[in-house]
Amino acid sequence: MRALPRRAGAALVGTLLAAALVTGCSSSDSSDTSASSVADAGAGARAGSAADEAADEDGSAAQDRSIVTTGYVTVLADDPVGASDRVSQMVETAGGRVEARTRYEPAPGEDAAASADLTVRVPADAVTGTVEALGKLGDVRDVSIDSTDVTSDVQDLDARILALSTSTQRLEELMAKAATTSDLLAAEKQLTSRQGDLESLEGQRKALGDQVAMSTLSISITEPDAQPELSPGGFLGGLSTGWDALLSFLNAAVVVVGVLLPWIVAVAVVAAVVLAVRRRRRRGAEGTSGSAGGRGGPEDDDHGPAGPSGSATDTELVGAGR
């Protein structure tokens, strides 16, 4: 009777041990599963954060690009000078400035067109708005916008400036620790040279940064071309055209006469001088021939008696024949 309880107790202890083993295995399996799930979740979170960081870096890199924008715009306006005044006000309101400005107004009665040319600097993000605002002043023509990426130039200048700044600081430290005068002078010489290079690079970087921040626009404002007037047709149109042609011909003829008149006067003076010289020569020649004829008179007188005698002989012969 006592053996049964002992066997029952042993069986009960074995059952409890088996249950404990089963519970420990299941708990270890669940803990391993939970640990692996936590590790997977952590890896996924790290991958997601890495992707977000890469996307942020790409976005910041796109935003950090250094772009120099330049443009040229032609505007046709009825009053170019007044339009140029409004452009100046518009640019200053947008936070820009006018760097150069020229304008031309013809004098009263002068056959010429008014014009104005401006070179303005506007913020890089206000270029599009400025070009659109020019359409309120007139007819916008010949819009040309160019963009140049100078990011590599900016990065190169920044790196060189940083290197020179570090070198300058080291030279200043060496000057402070110089033990001899020669070391001090050598360090000071190197420091002066590198400070000059540093200032030059900083000036280039500032100018390039200004070109990136403020875009340059060249604006030309002119009057629109005058519309040609159509001439009337028919007989009246032909008469008007002929009259205009006659007036044009007369104007041209007057111009030609005005050009030739001085030459005509000069030629006439030369011709008059030549004729006067020739007449004098002729008169001199005639006087010389007359004097020569007077000297030949006595010779004729010597032959004179023969003439009358000859004529008398002829008369006598005629009488004898009768």
Give, in order, the Cα–Cα distances in Å from 266 to each of 94, 261, 274, 275: 70, 9, 13, 14
| Tens of pLDDT, residues 40-98 | 444 444 444 544 554 454 445 445 789 999 999 999 999 999 999 999 999 999 999 99
The pTM of this model reads 0.49
* Percent over 90 (pLDDT), the chain: 34
Give Dmax (Cα) for the chain: 241
Task: Please indicate whether residue 207 or residue 2 has the higher confidence score (pLDDT).
Answer: 207
> Which amino acid is located at 122 in the chain?
V
Residue 146: pLDDT band by 50, 70, 90 thresholds? Answer: very high
- Report the pLDDT value the prediction gives residue 201, as an integer from 0 to 100: 93
Distance CA 68, CA 124 (A): 8
For 213-311, list the strands marked E by DSSP: 214-222
How many whole angstroms from its chain centre is CA 302?
Answer: 108
Mean pLDDT, to the nearest integer, of 231-241?
A: 69
Positive or negative torsion for Cα 206, 209, 211, 214: negative
- Report the pLDDT value the prediction gives residue 111, as an integer from 0 to 100: 75
For 105-200, list the strands marked E by DSSP: 115-123, 139-149
Mean pLDDT, to the nearest integer, of 184-189?
A: 86
Distance CA 30, CA 24 (A): 10
Distance CA 214, CA 208 (A): 10
- Report the pLDDT value the prediction gives residue 181, as an integer from 0 to 100: 86
Residue 222 has pLDDT above 70, yes or no: yes
The structure tokens 């000859």 sit at 310
- Report the pLDDT value the prediction gives residue 304, as an integer from 0 to 100: 45
Give, in order, the Cα–Cα distances in Å from 130 to each of 147, 162, 224, 291, 295: 16, 37, 21, 105, 111
DSSP string across 206-234:
HHHHHHHHEEEEEEEEEPPPPPPPPPP-H
Task: Please indicate whether residue 239 or residue 22 has the higher confidence score (pLDDT).
Answer: 239
Q: Are 119 and 103 in contact (CB under 8 A)?
A: no
Give, in order, the Cα–Cα distances in Å from 22 to each of 16, 179, 310: 10, 82, 199
Distance CA 297, CA 310 (A): 20
- Report the pLDDT value the prediction gives residue 55, as an integer from 0 to 100: 46
Average pLDDT, the chain: 75
Residue 231: pLDDT band by 50, 70, 90 thresholds? Answer: low
Residue 159 has pLDDT above 80, yes or no: yes
The dihedral formed by the CA atoms of 304, 306, 307 and 309, expressed in degrees to the nearest 10: 130
| Tens of pLDDT, residues 269-278 | 999 999 888 8
The structure tokens 């030549």 sit at 274
Positive or negative torsion for Cα 15, 21, 26, 30: positive
Mean pLDDT, to the nearest integer, of 3-11?
A: 43
* Percent over 70 (pLDDT), the chain: 66
Which range of 10-14, 114-118, 179-183 scores highest in mean pLDDT? It is 114-118
Neighbours of 114 (CB within 10 A): 19
Residue 294 has pLDDT above 80, yes or no: no
